[in-house]
Amino acid sequence: MSGTVGDFVWKRLGEWGVRRVFGYPGDGINGLLGGLQRAGDRFEFVQVRHEEMAAFVAGAHAKFTGEVGVCLATSGPGAIHLLNGLYDARLDHQPVLALVGQQARAALGGHYQQEVDLHNLFKDVAGAFVQTAMAPAQVRHLIDRAMRIAIAERKIACIIFPNDLQELDAAEVPPRKHGTVHSGVGYSAPKLAPKEADLRRAADVLNAGQKIAMLVGAGALHATDEVIAVAQKLGAGVAKALLGKAAVPDDLPYVTGSIGLLGTKPSWDMMNGCDTLLMVGSGFPYSEFLPKEGQARGVQIDIEPGMLSLRYPMEVPLLGDSAETLKALLPLLRQKDGSWRGEIEGWAADGWKTLEGRAMQSADPLNPQRVFWELSPRLPEGCILTADSGSGTNWYARDLKGRRGMMGSLSGGLATMGAGMSYAIAANFAHPQRPVIACVGDGAMQMNGMNALITVTKYWQQWANPQFICLVLNNRDLNQVTWEQRAMAGDPKFEASQEVPDVSYSSYAELLGLKGIFVDSPERVGSAWDEALAADRPVVIEAYTDPNVPPLPPHITLEQAKALASSMFGGEPELGRVVRGTVSDMLGGMLPHRS
């Protein structure tokens, strides 16, 4: 007796190496849950608070392990809840398998309870593979194809299981007859590198350049040694897209840090001053932060053809794995010894001083940059950092000096609020020995984070290392957007849409049996981090920060400066000293730039 379809699904997924599934129950998947229960300790079911979080955790699991993340949701509402998390994974090119329930086959088309056209609903996000299982003999190849496409194409796959089908006897091997499919398990990524002639063309461009800027992204996370070796040979500086923060450590003198709206001035200066751009594994979207068209010659390495020569017209777009391609390129490159490297190191060192100066400015009551600045030297070895979407993403990107061996991630392409805590939970399940630190805004905490903290409460005692810290920036504001309204539109803060209730996140942590630390003075920030890092359980650090510290881009356009000035001096006279200080600091250095 081979069991039910519900048993067979897990048997087959187990053969694919799946060990953990994130989900939430419902009668649309009871047959699958029964199978999962019978599979015993071969699988771990992680129960989250909301299906969106199941999908966030699955996507983050993929980011932190390289494996396919698997999430499970019931028919109708459960399936619908998955969507935002699946889009997060999709936009960041992560492999995720969504298993969702559906009403019984005989009821479909009957405007039945919880009947939603799931195939259509998932067709966009899981366009690479979405199928409804209609017969037991179909299940084997649906799983095999879904897993292989997800992992090989780094995409979302979705299998829809009508609930009655889950209870039928499995057909482990389909009959040998016309109209059946006979599939197998397994995938191993090929060694993907460009042809010799293309590598030579790329090397010619790079050897001819005098001022080389590298931009690395998530596709370079596994290529740290290769990026460093190539940067050394080319005398290049290295800027990092947000998802590539951990690709090279921030403590190398020629690393200019983040780029873009959340970026640093050294990255901005390097991109504007370079004559050659080498982009590795990045889909960083904002071309205005790259060299002007025609200013630089371009070489790009990416594993997806659709991402090549997309943000800057590249002279040599190379399709390949970043580590393999850089390794193959290295012997073709000549050692450079111009003055460009020195210039970059000067910019980078000045950039850190500027950030320190900004972090040390007083604010009312606490400058959020100070909170990140103090964390930086205290980051424990091998820690995993996550961030939510908000003003804190700026400080995560710019102020945290990541070292070798650390990891970090967030919702990059979708930039959705509410993912930061789920990412941290995924990090802990994936790497239970490593300390995890999530940086979350109060809006995001209220959206999903407070509920995700209940999941932490449920599981933390199983974790080998209880070092799990959630930093909440309590600024009573949806601050990132408040500043966007000011700087882009010139509108004063719209209190009705922007203010969020002042909630005591530290008391809430205590209520859940975790540790809560409240900090509202700059002198106490360092000791708050020390206390949190030494705690014997997960901690919420609630930093009561000033919403009037502007998370502005590294350069500011004349239009933005005017817009900001009109909201600052016209509509919102209460904006304090910090704003004026920061804005005039930026204007002084950057006004010559116009968009």
Ligand X SMILES: Cc1ncc(C[n+]2csc(CCOP(=O)(O)OP(=O)(O)O)c2C)c(N)n1
233 within 8 A of 330, measured Cβ to Cβ: yes
Shortest spacing between CB 115 and ligand X, in angstroms: 27
When the beta carbons of 264 and 482 are compared against Mg ion, the nearer one is: 482
Q: Which residue has the tokens 């080498």?
A: 278
CB atoms closer than 10 angstroms to residue 287: 12
Amino acid identity, residue 84? N
Partner whose footprint covers residue 455, from Mg ion, ligand X, none (CB < 5 to 8 Å by kind) = none
Cβ proximity to ligand X, 268 vs 483, nearer residue: 483
Minimum distance, C-beta of residue 357 to Mg ion, in the bound complex (Å): 24
Q: Whole-number minimum distance, CB 127 to Mg ion, in Å?
A: 34
- The entry of ligand X, Mg ion, none near residue 174 (CB within 5 to 8 angstroms by kind) is none
Query: What tokens does 468 get?
Result: 């799990």
Residue closer to ligand X, measured from CB, 215 or 478: 478
Q: Which residue is nearest to ligand X (CB)?
A: 441
Q: Shortest gap between Cβ of 530 and ligand X (angstroms)?
A: 24
Binding site for ligand X (CB under 6 A): 388-392, 415-418, 441-444, 473, 475, 477-481
* Closest listed residue to residue 537, CA positions, set 505, 560, 561, 513: 513
Binding partner of residue 55 among ligand X, Mg ion, none, CB cut-off 5 to 8 Å per kind: none
Q: CB atoms < 10 A from the CB of 569, how many?
A: 11
CB closer to ligand X, 100 vs 478: 478
Looking at beta carbons only, is 344 or 500 nearer to ligand X? 500
CA 489 from chain centre, in angstroms, equals 28
Least separation in angstroms between residue 352's CB and ligand X is 23
Minimal distance, residue 547 CB to Mg ion, in Å? 7
Distances (CA, A) of 396 to 381, 416, 425, 567: 17, 16, 18, 26
Residue 28 is encoded by which pair of tokens? Answer: 């649309």
Q: Which residue in 416, 456, 307 sits closest to 83, CA to CA?
A: 416
Nearer to Mg ion (CB atom), residue 281 or residue 441: 441
Our CB check for Mg ion shows the closer of 125 and 543 to be: 543
3-state secondary structure of 556: coil
- CB neighbourhood size of 180 (10 A): 15
User: Which amino acid makes up residue 387?
Assistant: A
The pair phi, psi for residue 250, each rounded to 5°, is -75, -10
Q: Tell which residue, 216, 459, 182, 433, has the closest CA to residue 323.
A: 216
Nearer to Mg ion, 95 or 441 (CB): 441
Angstrom distance (rounded) from CA 148 to CA 132: 17
Name the closest residue to Mg ion (Cβ): 441
Helix (H) / strand (E) containing 87: helix 77-91
Residues that bind Mg ion (CB under 5 A): 441-443, 475, 477, 479
The item of ligand X, Mg ion, none sharing an interface with residue 389, based on CB under 5 to 8 Å by kind, is ligand X
Smallest gap, in angstroms, from Cβ of residue 99 to ligand X? 24
Other CB atoms within 10 A of residue 142 CB:
22
Q: Are 386 and 408 in contact (CB under 8 A)?
A: yes
Q: Please identify, using beta-carbon distances, which residue of 84 and 166 lies nearer to ligand X.
A: 84
Contact 449, 390 (CB under 8 A): no
Minimum distance between the CB of residue 481 and ligand X, rounded to whole angstroms? Answer: 4
| Residue matched to tokens 């009037």 | 548
Q: Tell me which of ligand X, Mg ion, none is bound by residue 198, counting a contact when its beta carbon lies within the kind-specific cut-off of 5 to 8 angstroms.
A: none
Nearer to ligand X, 391 or 455 (CB): 391
Please give the torsion angle defined by the CA atoms of residues 379, 380, 384 and 390, in that order, rounded to the nearest 10 degrees. Answer: -20
258 residue type, one letter = S
Q: How far is the CB of 551 from ligand X (least distance, A)?
A: 7
**Which stretches of 74-223 are assigned E, i.e. beta strand?**
96-102, 129-132, 156-162, 212-216
Nearest-approach distance from CB 444 to Mg ion, in angstroms: 8
